[in-house]
């Protein structure tokens, strides 16, 4: 099937979504996604930042789709023409959604453990508005815990459903979901129970914001001071392929291996994540590559030189 996204045409299998097709093409034309995660079944459609315009439905039925559609949930048709960054309405709608995602967000990045690897931060840098006229009180929740390993900071949650659907996937019955509705909705494993699964720690990594954080790592270090190293151990439960975050020769935390677009390679078990923090537990393979301009890669995190403006009067660079 042929699909054209912002002028780039690509051949894809039937059943591919617009987002997957765009990721195959790569570059600027890839819509951002906060709730879709390819490791988790059924995710997507909630955050509404990946909305695109379908200017031509298909070869057979060339009518455009009347509304913007979520690219992560819309399958391509043969001859579909999609507009993402080439359509000002799409960019406008995306800006608006990002603004709405931020109005109730506490913006407490300076004390948030996720800062530096937060998808909401990245999204707002790239697609956000400079200012908002929101001047009301934000909605607030009490901080809670999901068991003794995971902290839940509901104020920061963007209700992307990644954790809910991941828990659905790793456990035979419903353990974790959404209480209440509207902007009072709360993620919960009903009254602070721990999610009963060997894989529950993975919800920390898939959470795009700092709503779910690792209690064994909280406030220990900023992520950009740590070096992400590929590591392996022989584990009975999972593959043992993980990422260990080191400072000097100490392991501060263990996470899933990252994949492009804020995703991850494969789930790891709780034993590897929470209990194996000695260097002797792991076979360290080598440094993990992170995108050049990510905060994690702080040594490379420079503004391209042509944008540097020197204001001699104010002594500003």
Partner 1 sequence: MGRKIILKHDGTPNLKDYEVYRKLGGYRAVEKALKIMSPADVMEQVKISGLRGRGGAGFPTALKWSFLAHPEGKPIYLLCNADESEPGTFKDRYLMQYNPHFLIDGMICSAYAIGAHTSYIYVRGEYKFIIRILEKAIQEAYANGWLGKNILGSGYDLDIYVHSGAGAYICGEETALIESLEGKKGHPRMKPPFPAIAGLYGCPTVVNNVESLAVVSWIIQNGGEEYAKIGVGRSTGTKLISASGNIKNPGVYEIELGLSVNEFLYSDEYCGGMQFQGRDLKAVVAGGSSVPVLPKNLILKTVAGEDRLMTYESLSEGGFETGTMLGSGGFIVYDEAQCMVRNTWNFSRFYHDESCGQCSPCREGTGWLEKVLYRLEHGEGNERDIDQLVAITKKIEGNTICPFGDAASWPVASAVRHFRHEFEYHVKYREKVKNRKHFETEPMRLFMSEFLKVEA
Q: Is 209 in the site for ligand SF4 (CB under 6 A)?
A: yes
- Give the N- to C-terminal CA distance of the chain in Å, as an integer: 50
CB of 128 to ligand SF4, least distance (A): 17
Shortest Cβ 212–ligand SF4 spacing (Å)? 5
Q: Burial level of 216, CB count in 10 A (0-12/13-18/19+)?
A: middle
**Hey, what are 25's tokens?**
């093409």
User: Token pair 């909705």 is at which residue?
Assistant: 185
Compute the least distance from the CB of residue 86 to ligand SF4, in Å: 27
Nearest to 200 by CA among 231, 175, 179: 175
In sequence order, the 6+-apart residues with CB closer than 8 A to the CB of 240 are 232, 233, 234, 268, 272
- The one of partner 1, ligand SF4, none whose footprint includes residue 187, by CB under 5 to 8 A per kind, is ligand SF4
Q: Please work out the total of residues on this chain that contact ligand SF4, with binding judged by CB under 6 A.
A: 14
Q: What's the min distance (Å) between Cβ of 261 and ligand SF4? A: 16
| Closest listed residue to residue 153, CA positions, set 196, 197, 113 | 113
Q: Cβ 51 to ligand SF4, closest distance in Å?
A: 13
Q: Which does 162 bind (CB under 5 to 8 A by kind): partner 1, ligand SF4, none?
A: ligand SF4
Alpha carbons 195 and 205: distance in angstroms, whole number? 15
**Shortest CB 121 distance to ligand SF4, Å:** 13
Neighbouring residues of 60: CB distance < 8 A, sequence distance ≥ 6: 77, 78, 79
Under the binding rule (CB under 6 A), the answer on residue 235 touching ligand SF4 is: no
In this structure, the strands spanning 2-5 and 80-83 are: parallel
Taking CB under 6 A as the criterion, the residue among 1, 5, 21, 160 binding ligand SF4 is 160
With binding defined as CB under 6 A, does residue 162 bind ligand SF4? yes
CB atoms < 10 A from the CB of 171, how many? 16
Using rule CB under 6 A, residue 158 touches ligand SF4? yes
- 264 sits near ligand SF4 (criterion: CB under 6 A): no
> Please, what is the minimum distance in Å from the beta carbon of residue 264 to ligand SF4?
13
Q: Which of ligand SF4, partner 1, none interacts with 212 (beta carbon under 5 to 8 A by kind)?
A: ligand SF4
Residues of this chain that interact with partner 1 (CB under 8 A) are 45-49, 51, 67-68, 70, 73, 93, 96-97, 99-101, 103-104, 133-134, 136-137, 139, 158-159, 161, 177-178, 180-185
72 vs 146 by CB, closer to partner 1: 72
Rule CB under 6 A: is residue 49 a binding residue for ligand SF4?
no
Asked if 33 interacts with ligand SF4 (CB under 6 A), we say no
In degrees, to the nearest 5, what angle opens at C-alpha 257 toward C-alphas 18 and 119? 55
Return d(Cα 7, Cα 265) in angstroms, integer. 30
Between the alpha carbon of residue 276 and those of residues 41, 85, 255, 266, 283, the distances in Å are 28, 44, 11, 18, 12
Cα–Cα distance measured from residue 309 to residue 317, given in angstroms and rounded to the nearest whole number: 6
Instruction: Indicate the DSSP class of residue 247.
Output: E
Q: Could you tell me if 163 and 176 are in contact, meaning their C-beta atoms sit under 8 angstroms apart?
A: yes
Looking at beta carbons only, is 138 or 193 nearer to partner 1? Answer: 138
Instruction: Write down the least CB distance from residue 145 to partner 1, Å.
Output: 22
Q: Which is nearer to ligand SF4, 17 or 202 (CB)?
A: 202
Among 36, 161, 274, 282, the residue binding ligand SF4 under the rule CB under 6 A is 161
| Residues at the site binding ligand SF4, with contacts judged by CB under 6 A | 157-163, 187, 206-209, 211-212
């Amino acid at each position: 099937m042929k699909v054209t996204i912002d002028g780039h045409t690509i051949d894809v299998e039937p059943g591919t979504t617009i987002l997957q097709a765009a990721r195959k093409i790569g570059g600027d034309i890839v819509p951002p996604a906060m709730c879709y995660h390819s490791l988790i079944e059924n995710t997507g459609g909630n955050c509404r930042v990946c909305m695109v315009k379908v200017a031509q439905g298909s070869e057979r039925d060339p009518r455009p789709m009347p509304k913007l559609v979520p690219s992560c949930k819309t399958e391509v048709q043969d001859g579909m023409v999609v507009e993402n960054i080439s359509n000002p309405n799409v960019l406008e709608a995306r800006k608006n959604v990002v603004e709405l995602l931020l109005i109730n967000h506490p913006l407490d990045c300076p004390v948030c453990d996720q800062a530096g690897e937060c998808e909401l931060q990245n999204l707002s840098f790239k697609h956000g508005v400079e200012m908002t006229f929101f001047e009301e009180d934000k909605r607030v929740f009490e901080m809670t815990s999901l068991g003794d390993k995971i902290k839940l900071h509901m104020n920061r949650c963007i209700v992307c459903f990644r954790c809910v659907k991941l828990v659905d996937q790793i456990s035979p019955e419903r353990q974790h979901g959404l209480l209440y509705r509207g902007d009072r909705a709360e993620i919960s494993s009903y009254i602070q129970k721990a999610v009963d699964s060997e894989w529950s720690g993975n919800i920390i990594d898939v959470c795009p914001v700092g709503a779910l954080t690792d209690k064994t790592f909280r406030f220990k270090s900023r992520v950009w001071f740590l070096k992400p190293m590929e590591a392996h151990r022989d584990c009975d439960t999972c593959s043992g392929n993980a990422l260990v975050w080191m400072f000097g020769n100490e392991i501060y935390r263990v996470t899933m291996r990252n994949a492009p677009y804020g995703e991850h390679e494969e789930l790891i078990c709780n034993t590897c994540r929470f209990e194996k923090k000695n260097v002797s537990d792991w076979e360290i393979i080598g440094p993990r590559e992170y995108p050049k301009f990510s905060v994690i890669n702080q040594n490379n995190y420079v503004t391209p030189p042509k944008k540097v403006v020197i204001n001699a009067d104010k002594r500003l660079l």
